[in-house]
Amino acid sequence: MRIAIVGGIGSGKSEVLAVAKNEMGLACLSADEINAGLLSDVDYIREIAAAFPSAVAQNVVDRAALANIVFADDQARLRLNSISHPRILERIKSDGRSMLVVEMPLLLESGAQALFDEIVFVRTPLRKRLKLLKERGMSRAEAMKRIRVQAKPRDLRRVSTREIVNDGDISVLRNRARSVFVEIIEKSQKLKKTF
């Protein structure tokens, strides 16, 4: 069973993934971490350099420069996604573990819905997301720029099978995440018994 954790930037997806990994003992992947790993792949760097020459120097991708380019230009962002998404999805598909939880910031943008049996949407009020992003050192303008180019919460909610509302403190989020994973595990065990 594959489980996606989705939600916009600053919604608390990483905290939900941490519950799955550290408290529930589930196998986990992060699309962002897979993408970070690609930055040491020679072929990937070559493709990035060809598409965005100003973001690569001496075979090293300048992540900040690349972010500035793609968050300011829809076509540039689509170009980057066409390079990175197939590699990220291939890594997820090739993972053979029987139950896998994947933090997927760009589920809809990558067209990956069909890869997952469960899609857990972390729904967080905008003001809380902006506060979290500010604490990470991001300006309101930069945060809003990134939020605007991501899938809308209503679209994520439409494709999700479960929802975690992140409107309290960190312990509330963890408790709600734990409850969702318990339900998913129980569902998975019931399905196994029927076959």
What range defines the domain where residue 162 resides?
Answer: 2-194
Structure confidence by residue, pLDDT tens digits, 5-55:
999 999 999 999 999 999 999 999 999 999 999 999 999 999 999 999 999
Phi, psi of 165 (to 5 degrees): -90, 120
Q: Provide the pLDDT confidence category of residue 188 given band limits of 50, 70 and 90.
A: confident
The structure tokens 């196994």 sit at 192
Domains held by the chain: number? 1
Which pTM value belongs to this model?
A: 0.92
Is the pLDDT higher at 17 or at 189?
17
Average pLDDT of 88-100?
Answer: 95
**165 has which bridge partners?**
123
Is pLDDT above 80 for 155?
yes
Is pLDDT above 70 for 150?
yes
What is the reported pLDDT for 75?
95
What is the reported pLDDT for 195?
56
Full DSSP string of 94-153: T---SSEEEE-TTHHHHT-GGG-SEEEEEE--HHHHHHHHHHTT--HHHHHHHHHHSPPH
End-to-end CA distance of the chain, in Å? Answer: 14
| Lookup: tokens for 144 | 């809003």
CATH number for 180: 3.40.50.300
